[in-house]
Structure 1
Amino acid sequence: MSRASARFDTKKVNSELVTLTYGALVAQMVKDLDSTEDVNKQLERIGYNMGIRIVEDYLAKTGTGRCLDLKDTADKIQSAFRMYLGVQPNVVNWSPGGDEFSFLLDSNPLTDLVELPEDLKNLKYCNIICGVIRGALEMVQLDVQCWIIQDILKGDANTEIRVKFIRKLEDAIPAGEE
């Protein structure tokens, strides 16, 4: 007898694995921490720590150089979304000064198979993404704020993540190496 060959779509399997694993992490944090605000802070912190590490992987895989401006930065973050989450967000809602923009996600693999109960409506389930963006940009000397404007899990049509440029960080030279 021959074994029936089962073909798996590895991208779909990986996406579902990430969704389920992330959901289990958030559920455990909700049980362990006192408030949803504490969970929101921890998710952002975890994302920040991921961001400061993932930027090296991104730069090595893409071979891209320094960003020329905030528009170039937004394009590279858009590329990273495609690379790591398999989604293509739209870059929209640029501020008149050019120092703020939003990522609009029509689909978000982190929110597949997820429904927030009524008592967790203040939970920023995807706050980890804000942390990743903030951490990665800090590693390339950009200080930004990042927050969620709209959330599919709260009944919005899509997820909107806002990014605001604060300042360019100076390269730090270790003491004694001037």
Structure 2
Amino acid sequence: MEKREATTVEIAETSRERKGKAPLLGAVDNAKAAGYKRGVAIFDLILRISAATATLAATITMGTTEQTLPFFTQFFQFQASYDDLPTFTFFVIAMSIVTGYLVLSVPFSVVSIARPLVAGPRLLLIVCDTLTVTLATSAAASSAAIVYLAHNGNSDANWLAICQQFNDFCQRISGAVVAAFVAVALLIFMVVLSALGLRKH
């Protein structure tokens, strides 16, 4: 009888130890997940600020691009401005929208850092970031086509390359398009990061 009682007590103690360890393991897993997601959110915030800087630079550069060729008379001048081409006007508007969105999305990214296990803000960001990637890519790609024509022209369509005359103008619009593509790359990386942050494990 004594041996049976001792066996019963050992089994009871073992089951209690297991019950005590299970919550501890769950807490450790939650802490690891929170740390991982917080790191992803911090990196997302850095990329978001960098992308906003790139789109702002592209917007300002393109929106202030203008060059007038010097001639002897004031009544006969050749002038090139970004608003002469609808594509560049669309570029400025689209990049302005993307810049505004990125600035407004910073608080949501901060919330993801403060509360890494909450999926709502991160889900909202990934949806809006995907739409923003589409807008920024369309603006950058269409403007890149016009920049290519400005540099090289098209002999079949009798479109002349204007960059030999409007050198400063072409340098500025080329810089704006490069900045826009940098922003697109950062936005794509942000979408990937948000998807990683939404993983449960």
TM-score range (shorter-chain normalised) is: under 0.3
Q: Which has the higher strand share?
A: 1
Q: Which has the higher helix share?
A: 2
Larger Rg, first or second structure (1 or 2): 2
Higher relative contact order (CA 8 A, sep 6+): 2
Normalising by the residue count of structure 2, what TM-score does the alignment of the two structures yield? 0.23
